[in-house]
Amino acid sequence: MFAFCIARITTTILRIVWAVYPTDASIRIAATIFVALGVLVLFLINLIFAQRVIRATHPHFGWHKSFYVAFKVLHALIIAMIPVVVTGTVQSFYTLNVNTHRIDRDLQMTGTAYFLLISFLPMPMVILALVIPRKTRLEKFGSGRWRTKIAILLTSSALLCLGAAFRAATTYENPRLLDDPAWYDAKWCFYFFNFILEILVIYMYLIVRVDRRFWVPDGSKGPGDYLSGGNKGQEKQAAPEDLRRSSSRESRCQNDVSLVERSTRKEFDSEV
């Protein structure tokens, strides 16, 4: 959350500077890039929350290695799309070649389409996790009711997906002339679909305390760790050590008993 807020503060600062220096192309490029990429932090947060919901409802599938690898691929593609969007945005400002502009637009459309997919993905993941019958008990995590967690995740995902859909749709639209702008070129559209929706999500996260509701124990690595506190593996590692300690204690006790018996025998012999 802190990283997202810093990114959005930087975005607004750049847009203010751009308003003061409207002919500075570098400032305009930086402001455009930050507008497009700042929201990725929220996309990743919702994706992680959806992963925890799946692991709680279907632990054997949620903790499977293939599911883990799939999530790593999604994260890697997000990182890979960042230079794609940056390259398409920066290069479009410094070329007049028609073919290059077409390539840059294709890069931008590819990036925005993938970001739309990432923003939408938590909703079907959570719905399928709830609809598919469970084979094990529900491994609840964090504080608060389970239904409230689902409502929070679905609501925030829907709001972020709405903003991503607007950006993707406007990117896919054919460019318009400056003297013939479309309705989506209005200022209220830009600030509503880019900033107002994100502010609603951030304040909702703050009010409902998602840091407590979606908290999972440290060290969770498999089914049952959400219930056991993530110490299952530590308990298994500590078991042999405990056995060694108990055996050493028993041996010390037996030695003490043997010493006491010897001393009592010596005392008895001396008295006799």
pLDDT digits (tens, 9 = 90+) for 49-83: 999 999 999 988 888 899 899 999 999 999 999 99
Q: Is the pLDDT of residue 244 over 80?
A: no
pLDDT for 243 equals: 46
Q: Which of 118, 123, 120 lies closest to 82 in space, CA to CA? A: 118
Those residues whose C-beta lies under 8 Å from the C-beta of residue 153, and which sit 6 or more positions away, are 46, 49, 50, 53, 122, 126
Supply 57's token pair.
Answer: 């409802």
Q: Which of 129, 156, 118, 1 lies closest to 59 in space, CA to CA? A: 129
Residue with tokens 């945005």: 89
Calculate mean pLDDT across residues 259-269.
Answer: 49
pLDDT for 121 equals: 94
Calculate mean pLDDT across residues 223-247.
Answer: 56
pLDDT for 253 equals: 52
Please give the Cα distance from 162 to 194 (Å, whole number): 10
Confidence of residue 97 (pLDDT cuts 50, 70, 90): confident
How many CB atoms neighbour CB 233 within 10 A? Answer: 14
Q: Which residue has the higher pLDDT, 112 or 246?
A: 112
Please give the Cα distance from 14 to 9 (Å, whole number): 9
Supply 141's token pair.
Answer: 């995590």
Supply 59's token pair.
Answer: 């632990």
pLDDT for 181 equals: 82
pLDDT for 234 equals: 46
Calculate mean pLDDT across residues 231-251.
Answer: 49
Calculate mean pLDDT across residues 14-27.
Answer: 88
User: What are the residue boundaries of the structural domains of the chain, listed by start?
Assistant: 2-230, 232-272
Q: Provide, rounded to the nearest whole percent, the portion of the chain with pLDDT above 90.
A: 33
pLDDT in tens, 131-164: 998 888 888 888 888 899 999 999 999 999 999 9
Q: Which of 151, 112, 136, 149 lies closest to 60 in space, CA to CA? A: 136
Calculate mean pLDDT across residues 13-26.
Answer: 88
Q: Which residue has the higher pLDDT, 267 or 111?
A: 111
Confidence of residue 47 (pLDDT cuts 50, 70, 90): very high
